[in-house]
Structure 1
Amino acid sequence: MKISSLSLALAAALGLGLARADDQPLRQLPYTPSLDVSAMDRSVDPCEDLYQYACGGWMKNNPIPADEARWGVYSKVANENRLYLWGVLQELAQPAATARSAQQQQLGDYFGACMNEQAVNEAGLKPLKPLLERIDALRHKRDLPALLAALHLLLDNERAFFRFASGQDFNDATQVIAFVSAGGLGLPERDLYLKNDARSRKLRAEYQAHVARSLARAGAAAEQAQRQARSVLAFETELARATLSPVQRRDPYKLSNRLSFEQLQALTAGFDWAAYRSALGVEQALPVLNVTEPRFIKRWAALLQQTDLATLKTLLRWQVLSSQAEFLDAGWQAEQFGFYGKTLQGVPAQKARWKRCVELVDAQLGEALGQEFVARNFSPELKERVIKMTDQIKAAMARRIEALDWMSPATKARAQEKLASMVNKVGYPDNWRDYSAFQVRRDDFLGNLQRGNAFELKRQLAKIGKPLDRGEWGMTPQTVNAYYNAQMNDINFPAAVLQPPLYDAKLDDAPSYGNTGGTIGHELIHGFDDEGRQFDAQGRLKDWWTTQDTKAFERRAACVSKQYGQYTVIDQLKINSQLTLGEDLADLGGLVLALEAWKEQIKGLTLENRDGLTPEQRFFVGFAQWDCSHARPEYARLHAATDPHSPGRYRINGVAVNMPEFAQAFACKPGQKMVKKDAERCRVW
């Protein structure tokens, strides 16, 4: 639908930034079937490459957009959702023609302020002046706790050295305690600071140049900015040496470190945590905290003592600038995107402003926007159908646990208890979040952003010392994703991931069970993967396995790890299968459960072939098409170092090759690439 001349006039009058000519807001979500025959490449033998057979046409017809690092079915659906939400927010941002709730007014005002690009460009660096002046005014290190508290409230990210928030106690998942987590790094992965290969050295040089340009843009003389950038890189490198790797962070026991307030203070001599806590506004007692990386926090405190005040002020100035640059004028945005978009991920073009504004509304007023999405797109009937599918998959898991020949009766009983306790959340939360304390102004974009950060951090901090709210969600309803929370012991499926082409009520069940069923199974298996299995039915970090059963599980998991470790991401770079193990296990176990649930669903039915595919083939093609995707080389390398998910091709082929039902469905023959001997197949659940 094209924007009318009236809409253009209104946008100009309101100062709303206009999108590129090929972007148009949607008034309803588009429909793509969950099995899209046009996405296939039938010239390929599925027994040689299921992924290419199911997705070859999709990749040909869906080149990576200029503003994306990776493009896949999920990202395309997410973009269509953004287009739709753009239409909703654009309407709410216009002068009200009809009655509008206070929450809808918040949404419209936030979006309108964000889209007022002229005002943002005219403001330049001015909105950050109060924070930068406060940093410049720092005279003693003893004043650092109060300053960091102010930065954490307004910026709400771990760029300012560390993150202080709340979380479930690893020992008692019913309670919420304070959490201190590592931060302070401008590069996305610690090894980028430490590796000495040519690519890493070049990347660090480009990062240092970016830091120098940013500091110069903020007012430093060119030579001074170069010296300061070297100091920034040196300090961050020392922090990186004390930071856990992505693989190490997958071990919950490494992150579970309960300390008393006094122990934390002793660990970080010279930094006054009482002053920090007071400035942050935390009134609750803090008898115990969880410090996810004690080695990091100890090293950080030592560096504070060793570093002169001028360098600390440079570091703080850089942290403010780097965390806020994308929200400033066009020059700052271009500088930030040049490094983090182009250099790190190979993305040629920055996202249109409307996309970034929709994403910000989602991030800061997510459940308010979610109510608008759900009311228009998620029916009670759809929710019931998905709940039925989830119940079938849980029942399949219960049967498989009972039938395992490698697990003892004692561990089976604990596994069944955990499965029975697992909560299924579908669509949206039962109780919506209240944003009435979040002040939104139509003429203050960066102020809205900072007040939104403060609102959320205060909301998180208010939980400390209180019983857990098990009804809370960690994703908004309009998010195209799903997740398992080990401490909550719940599986969560937002409304947006239950729309075509992911879940398709218009087609036969086979592709939806392969696609959404596989996703449901995937999240359920996370409760029993190499990380999730370490939490019990109540979400406590507690070993409920016998020693023999642990060894049996680890042998089976090692088969999966060995298989995926042989796959090439790009050039000679292999998958880090220690990093991806949990997701690989969930992919495999999830589809096994989905197939069993589908067979239960169609029991007694006579199914016909469709589109030249048998029902069984439709199940596997539907599964494969959930992750039709491709990525830029730079992103692929970064993804391999930081993301626990394997590339799409291996998330599909790596699963199917272990399932004899796939080979049977396509009449594959021994010796073909997608066929393993029975003894070579990886089996866990």
Structure 2
Amino acid sequence: MKTKLSLSLAGLALLAACQNKDKGSTAGKEVRTEFFDKSGMDTTVNPGDNFFLYANGQWMKKTQIPKTETGWGSFYTLYNDNIKSLDEILINASKEEHPKGSLEQKVGDFYASGMDTVAIEKLSYTPLKPLLAKIDAIKDYKDVLNFVAEGYKDGNGDLFGFYVGPDDKISTKNAVNFSQSGTTLPERSYYFNNDAQTKKIRAEFVKYMTQLFVLTGSTKEEAAKYADNVLKLETSIANSHSTPVELRDPQKNYNKYYVGDFQKLTPDMDWKTLLGKMELKTDTILVGQPKYYQALNNLLKSQPIEVWKEKLKFDAINSATPALSKDFRKARFEFFGKTIQGLKEPKERWKAIVSSTDGNIGELLGQLYVKEHFTPEAKKRMLELVDNLQKVYRSRIEKLDWMSPATKQKAVDKLQAFIKKIGYPDKWKKYDDVDITRDNYYANLQSADKHAYKEMVDKLGKPVDKTEWGMTPPTVNAYYNPSINEIVFPAGILQFPFFDFGADDAINYGAIGAVIGHEMTHGFDDQGRQYDKDGNLKDWWTAGDATKFKDKAKKVTDLYNGFTLLDNQHVNGELTLGENLADIGGLAIAYEAFKLTPQGKSDKKIDGFTPDQRFFLSFAQVWRIKSRDESMRVRLKTDPHSPEMFRVNGPVYSMEPFYKAFNIPATAKMYVAPANRVGVW
């Protein structure tokens, strides 16, 4: 039931997901005294054979993934620490009386309503009945389209992937962007592959759909039939979908149409009427994957109307399950949690509701969060680090031996134009039209959904607001947004092991320094490089330089294609290319910036390691994550980030300073000859 704003963000990680915290106490305030976990290393592994395991091997052997998690490690523990802090804020807000409409009242009552499982159990799926009744009243495919379009205003839209945001080729202007949608499984191959694991997932999907239909009043026989029908329909829809790799090409996924022209491609979809019902006043639209809408146009008439109603009902129930009674939530967990992600137990209720609060009214909760957990000093220090890395990046661009002066100047111009956002927005979003009460969680979600939709469609016809954030302040992540040309570091990630005031420079530069460099490099990866300094999808490269870039990027693709894990499952070097380029470039830039610091210029050991060794070990322990096999299988197909072992090993084995730091001989298993090392920036 949530209409999400879709942004083309190159994030640090898919999960909002760090190390064991060794703290002492000084004057009542907790102070960290250790910044590196020697006990987690496995020194029986040669650093030249597998640096990730050398740095993290003992930790990997000993660590048990909690039953409620898809994995465990850096992002996960930081995320869990953060969510505890947010929970304390929300508990305090929910305990006290606050003026109606105040941010404390809204976040406190939203949280309280989600935690009131007694009221939620009493309602069962009653809040969903009006929506299901609307679907029952549908008589033909035109009614399907009208239902879909009208539903978006209430957060119940379906079949259209869309958002209002920057036009990739006119970055100052907001446009209506449509994309493929209509399926439930992680991506198209799940509908067609016939390996045992994928067939099991499809069987469990049918079982899950059957359960939801039974829980909303269908007989088992009816429910089983409906589920089979929906799977067949979604399979037909998936046949029109682009692959995850195809979706990474910004030029091929930019298709601008006058509404009348797109109408000719999809003659049975009355776009003028549909856009009107969606409150979108425009004569042009951007369609990422026209093939999907052409297929949808044909399927609307060729598939029985009853099957479409079954599909709409399933989508409505499935979307609402987190807000319904326990039997719905249990069914959802059995499929998405156990089958897809490999979880053993669902997350605690309070964690789910904290996440829901952040997801729905995040810039209200964020204001309370930064008051308690983010200081002006941290923001100032981060800006210094960003500026330092930006200077190093400029120097590296100017020294490139493969790029012409003309393209170098354009690259420097883009680098200097980066918008830097750190911690939290300068201007907070308003939620004045969101009505929150303590006694109706479902209604609170609906109110937040209506607000989010109105906020989004109100952008149409207005200039792009470059102050807007795509993540909330507590988020443990970071991102680069090509259409704004911005790098963004929420307060949530600016904590140990990524960043700590008390840590030496080797630790901070190996961690947050590499993160900063990573996000900067997204501006120049295989996707980001296609956008100019103003965020427009516009070619600013000479033909020769573009060819050289592609040749270098191809070597990165080939390297990562060779990495395997599980039962010889390969990393997809094309899908992960952008993130791999960012990892490689980010570490190289962070190292060069580190070498400008006093510690970087010294040879003084800490914990028995030289400054350079400490830098690389800090980087490796930041990516100390252990994942469930089920979750990793999904990631290999859908995640643009490589598995963590290769996020470490890929970059370090392409850096000469790494070889020198650990005295790695040419006979080491992962030694890469200088002529074969990869890297662009």
TM-score range, shorter chain: over 0.9
Q: Report whether the alignment pairs 1:430 with 2:426.
A: yes
Q: Report whether the alignment pairs 1:387 with 2:388.
A: no
Note if contact 1:146-1:280 (Cα within 8 Å) is conserved in structure 2.
no
Note if contact 1:32-1:501 (Cα within 8 Å) is conserved in structure 2.
no
* Cα offset, 1:164, TM superposition: 3.1
Change (3 A) 1:550 1:41: same
CA distance in 2, matches of 1:118, 1:99: 25
Note if contact 1:33-1:500 (Cα within 8 Å) is conserved in structure 2.
no
Note if contact 1:145-1:273 (Cα within 8 Å) is conserved in structure 2.
no
Specify which of 268, 276, 285 is matched with residue 278 of structure 1.
276
Q: Report whether the alignment pairs 1:501 with 2:502.
A: no
Note if contact 2:600-2:611 (Cα within 8 Å) is conserved in structure 1.
no
The DSSP-based 3-state class of the residue aligned with 2:179 is strand
CA distance in 2, matches of 1:28, 1:190: 51
Q: Which residue of the partner structure matches residue 142 of structure 1?
A: 142
Unaligned runs of 5+ in 2: 1-27
Normalised by the size of structure 2, how large is the TM-score? 0.93
The DSSP-based 3-state class of the residue aligned with 2:472 is coil
Q: Which residue of the partner structure matches residue 64 of structure 1?
A: 65
Q: Report whether the alignment pairs 1:319 with 2:315.
A: yes
CA distance in 2, matches of 1:231, 1:101: 45
Specify which of 508, 511, 514 is matched with residue 515 of structure 1.
511
- Mean Cα displacement is larger for which, 356-365 or 668-677? 668-677
Note if contact 2:156-2:316 (Cα within 8 Å) is conserved in structure 1.
no
Note if contact 2:144-2:308 (Cα within 8 Å) is conserved in structure 1.
no
CA distance in 2, matches of 1:236, 1:142: 19
CA deviations on 1:564-618 (whole Å, 9 max, x unpaired) are 1111131021001110011001000000000011111227964521111111111
Change (3 A) 1:604 1:362: closer
CA deviations on 1:281-327 (whole Å, 9 max, x unpaired) are 33xx3021111111101111111111222111111101101111122
Change (3 A) 1:168 1:604: closer
Q: Report whether the alignment pairs 1:402 with 2:398.
A: yes
Q: Report whether the alignment pairs 1:226 with 2:224.
A: yes
CA distance in 2, matches of 1:439, 1:29: 39
Note if contact 1:125-1:329 (Cα within 8 Å) is conserved in structure 2.
yes
Q: Which residue of the partner structure matches residue 45 of structure 1?
A: 46
CA distance in 1, matches of 2:444, 2:101: 19
- Mean Cα displacement is larger for which, 670-679 or 174-183? 670-679
1:491-570 pair list within 5 angstroms: 491-570=487-566
Moved beyond 6 Å, runs of 4+: 27-30, 98-101
Q: Report whether the alignment pairs 1:202 with 2:203.
A: no
CA distance in 1, matches of 2:592, 2:600: 14
* Cα offset, 1:31, TM superposition: 5.5
CA distance in 2, matches of 1:577, 1:29: 43
Q: Which residue of the partner structure matches residue 21 of structure 1?
A: none
Note if contact 2:506-2:600 (Cα within 8 Å) is conserved in structure 1.
no
Q: Which residue of the partner structure matches residue 258 of structure 1?
A: 256
Q: Which residue of the partner structure matches residue 355 of structure 1?
A: 351
CA distance in 1, matches of 2:29, 2:216: 43
Q: Which residue of the partner structure matches residue 78 of structure 2?
A: 77
AA partner of residue 566 (structure 1): G
Q: Which residue of the partner structure matches residue 341 of structure 1?
A: 337
Note if contact 1:346-1:634 (Cα within 8 Å) is conserved in structure 2.
yes
Q: Report whether the alignment pairs 1:152 with 2:148.
A: no
AA partner of residue 314 (structure 1): E
Note if contact 1:120-1:329 (Cα within 8 Å) is conserved in structure 2.
yes
Identity of aligned residues (%): 38
CA deviations on 1:317-355 (whole Å, 9 max, x unpaired) are 011011111221111111111011101111110011000
Note if contact 1:33-1:501 (Cα within 8 Å) is conserved in structure 2.
no
CA distance in 2, matches of 1:298, 1:250: 21
The DSSP-based 3-state class of the residue aligned with 2:574 is helix
The DSSP-based 3-state class of the residue aligned with 2:595 is helix
CA distance in 2, matches of 1:106, 1:549: 53
1:509-658 pair list within 5 angstroms: 509-602=505-598, 606=602, 608-658=604-654
AA partner of residue 199 (structure 2): R
Unaligned runs of 5+ in 1: 1-26
CA deviations on 1:232-255 (whole Å, 9 max, x unpaired) are 011111111111110001000122
CA distance in 1, matches of 2:32, 2:46: 28
The DSSP-based 3-state class of the residue aligned with 1:401 is helix
Specify which of 365, 368, 372 is matched with residue 376 of structure 1.
372
* Cα offset, 1:273, TM superposition: 2.5
CA distance in 2, matches of 1:178, 1:413: 33
CA deviations on 1:211-270 (whole Å, 9 max, x unpaired) are 122212211122221221111011111111111110001000122111112123222222
* Cα offset, 1:99, TM superposition: 7.5
AA partner of residue 83 (structure 1): K
Cα RMSD of the aligned pairs, angstroms, is 1.9
Matched residue count: 654
* Cα offset, 1:381, TM superposition: 1.3
